[in-house]
Amino acid sequence: MSATCPRCGGELRETASGFRCRSCGYTCSAFEKPFSTREEPKPSYQEETIYDKASSAANIYDRNISGVCIIRNIEDQCSGSGFIYKSNGLVITNAHVIYFDKENRPSRRLEVLVNGALYKANVIKSNKPEGDDDIALLKIESANYFHELKLGNSDKVHNGEEVIAIGNPKGEGLSITKGIVSDAQRVYGSEHYIMSDVTINGGNSGGPLFNEKGEVVAICVSARREAENMNFFIPINHVLDYIHRWGY
């Protein structure tokens, strides 16, 4: 708040004996207060950081990165992604990440890197690596507890919604990409997918797709090679149908 001169409207400066106008030199006693006051103008904007919104990509990354896994198939010399489904070490991923030969047998030599630590893992249940049934459940060989990711409802995903993928593209380590839902109910034959332009590459397979709340709503499965930014994800509700059927 500042004082204004009653004669010229200039700014009054406080001195030892009272107030003096910077513009016209008018003086008055500190006890007389022959002047009006005015409020300083408030900023016309509000400062905002990237953490102010729950939908912030940085916020979602920070809150979930410790529950996203890099999966290494030693027998097939390839890698993929997954995420912690239960804190006891159950991991959801794609079936094609853990198969290693023409007989489509699950690998017996799997490693899971999660939150900076490397563990051995075993296949608990798996479908054949085909279509929207390309789902597998692993168990980390450890008595440790892990960061369990929160699951959303894929039936509520809508076109145009912002989504975020975290995974291990090309085996280069975990990274994050952002896009929108192009089609929340893309159908190919009898198979249902969420289609998005969020960038994925080989190695993202099995990794989580997050909604704006930071909930897992799908898992990455494939990209349309002859197209650009046509990427497909298995809805988490469909994934859970199998997981629950398997008793987990």
Name which of 197, 213, 227, 230 is nearest 157 in CA terms: 213
Active site residue 244: no
Active site residue 205: yes
Let me know if 134 is a catalytic residue.
yes
What does residue 182 show for φ and ψ, rounded to 5 degrees? -80, -40
Q: Which residue has the higher pLDDT, 237 or 52?
A: 237
Q: Are 64 and 81 in contact (CB under 8 A)?
A: no
pTM of the model: 0.75
Q: Could you report the per-residue pLDDT of 149-202, keeping only the tens digit for each?
A: 999 999 999 999 999 999 999 888 999 999 999 999 988 877 899 999 999 888
In sequence order, the β-bridge partners of residue 182 are none
Residues 88 and 92: their CA atoms lie apart, in Å, by 13
The residue annotated as part of the active site, out of 96, 107, 154, 222, is 96
Summarize pLDDT for 77-97 with one digit per residue, the tens: 889 999 999 999 999 999 999
- In Å, what is the CA distance from 107 to each residue of 4, 85, 145, 212? 81, 20, 24, 35
Instruction: Provide φ and ψ at 70, rounded to 5°.
Output: -100, 125
Which residues, including other chains, have CB under 8 Å from residue 51's CB and lie 6 or more apart?
Answer: 58, 59
79, 126, 154, 205: the catalytic one is 205
Q: Write the CB contacts of 107 (distance below 8 Å, at least 6 apart in sequence).
A: 73, 74, 75, 76, 98, 99, 100, 123
Catalytic: which of 132, 134, 182, 238? 134
Q: Which domains, and CATH codes, for the chain?
A: 2-38 (no CATH), 66-140 (2.40.10.10), 154-245 (2.40.10.10)
